[in-house]
Structures are given as structure tokens and as C-alpha cells.
A and B are shown apart, each in its own frame.
Chain A
Amino acid sequence: MIVRTLFFATYRDLAGTDELAVELPAGARVADLVRQLRAGGTALSSLPETPVVAVNMDYAPAATALRDGDEVALIPPVAGG
């Protein structure tokens, strides 16, 4: 399956892009996506082990199961207002 992975602020600086299409094995969870990004040999290896993540615009724990086509956003600490 393929998930659309979005990066913002400091994580965007690490990724060098706003978004990536990431291929994952069936049954993968948020934690697997993060592990794969951190292991890719890029600056994303500096991502936290358990970054805050939103799946389809809802905050979601690392154990959340992913499905093909999901939109997964990696959310660095927020500073709105």
C-alpha cells in the first residue's frame, strides 16, 4: 500500500519536501512508517522515534493501523495563536 506522508516546519526541513508517497507492507502501522522514514539514510533519520502523527487529520497513536491512500502528517510541536 501507499500512504501520502506530509511534513511541516522542522520536519519539512529534514525531508526537503512537503510530502512523500511511501510504500509500506500490508498491515503496517504508524510506527512502521516512522521506522522506515528514519532508516532511509536521509536527514529524516533525525526524526523523533515517536513523533506526533495525524492520520486523515486526526491525531493518532503509533499503533494505529494504516490503509492504502491514508494521509499521514508528521506534526512537530505546534506554535499557533
Chain B
Amino acid sequence: MGASYAAVVAQPLDAARIIADTLSPEDGAALLFWGVVRNENDGRAVTQLEYHAYEAMAERELLRIADEARERWGTGDIRVVHRVGLLEVGEASIAIAVAAPHRGEAYEASRYVIEQVKRRVPVWKREGYVEGAHEWVPGFTPAAG
């Protein structure tokens, strides 16, 4: 069975390295979910996004989510890396790499991880708009305990 790995980092994400670190000889496939900053949200032009995290808890929660997905779908390694700080349009905010012997499990597990990240992981983002304003992006309310 594989292992889970999670990190919150301030540096740009390296897709090739994240995939390579996740694969082992038992795997027949690896999927990379690559979440990037888009140039608009709700009809407003976005120039940059500033991500903040409760870093220690975010890493714990990412690890729990990866463990849940590995247990449920029997995948190999799952690696989740979330970036924080100021990101420009096109830069990656999250990478989720899932390795597995077969592709079906990898797709299911990858989808589960990103959906849970959006619901549970204590990360926030503030958008900067072309006209100069900055606003926190409305989010999901996690279940309390």
C-alpha cells in the first residue's frame, strides 16, 4: 500500500517532481490535478490571488483526506501540495498527485481529494481585481467537529 504526503508551501509547485515522487514500480498510472489561478471570477477580472492558510492544521487535514482516499480506493501514494502567498494568473495553487495500479481508482480518489479540500481545509484566498480592490473569496463552512 502507498503512503500519504501533504505540504503547504510558499514556493512555486513543480509538477514533474510531484508526479515523480508519487510513482512507484507497482503503479500503472498517475494522475495530477493541477489547480491554477483563473483570470476572472463572478464576472470580475482577477489579476492575482493571495492564499492564506492555518498551515499546521491545513497540513494535518490534507493528510487525513489523502489517507481517507487511499483507504477507500486502495491507491498507491497520494501527494497533496497547497501553495500560499501571492499568486499570479496561471500559477498553480494546488497539486494533487494520485498513483495507482489501475486508472479507475486514481480518478475517483483524485476527485474525492479536491472536493474535500474545498470543504474542510483551512485555507482562504483574497482576490485582487483589475480595478485595484481586494476581497476575500466566499467559501464553504466546514462541519464543526
Contact = CB atoms under 8 A, between A and B. Distances in A.
Contact of A80 (B60, B94, B136, B145): B94
Assign chain A's interface to a size class: 20 to 34
B139 A59 contact: no
Contact of B137 (A8, A50, A53, A79): A79
Interface string A56-77: 0111111010000000010111
Interface in A38-62: 50, 52-54, 57-62
A9 interface: yes
A78 B120 contact: yes
Given A6-B54, A8-B54, A60-B145, A54 B122 contact: yes
A10 to B, nearest CB: 5
Contacts of A73: 54, 57, 122
Given A52-B141, A76-B124, A81-B35, 17 more contacts: A6-B54, A8-B52, A58-B145, A59-B145, A60-B144, A61-B145, A73-B57, A75-B54, A77-B138, A77-B140, A78-B142, A79-B118, A79-B138, A80-B94, A81-B93, A81-B94, A81-B123
Interface string B109-145: 0000010011111111110000000001111111111
Question: Of A9, A53, A73, A76, which is in contact with the most chain B CB atoms at under 10 Å from its CB?
Answer: A9
A52 B139 CA distance: 13
Closest 7 CB pairs of A and B: A80-B123, A79-B139, A77-B139, A9-B124, A57-B57, A61-B145, A60-B145
Nearest to B56: A57
Interface of B: 35, 51-54, 56-58, 60, 82, 93-94, 114, 117-126, 136-145
Contacts of A10: 124, 136
A81 B51 CA distance: 10
Question: Of A62, A79, A81, which is in contact with the most chain B CB atoms at under 10 Å from its CB?
Answer: A81
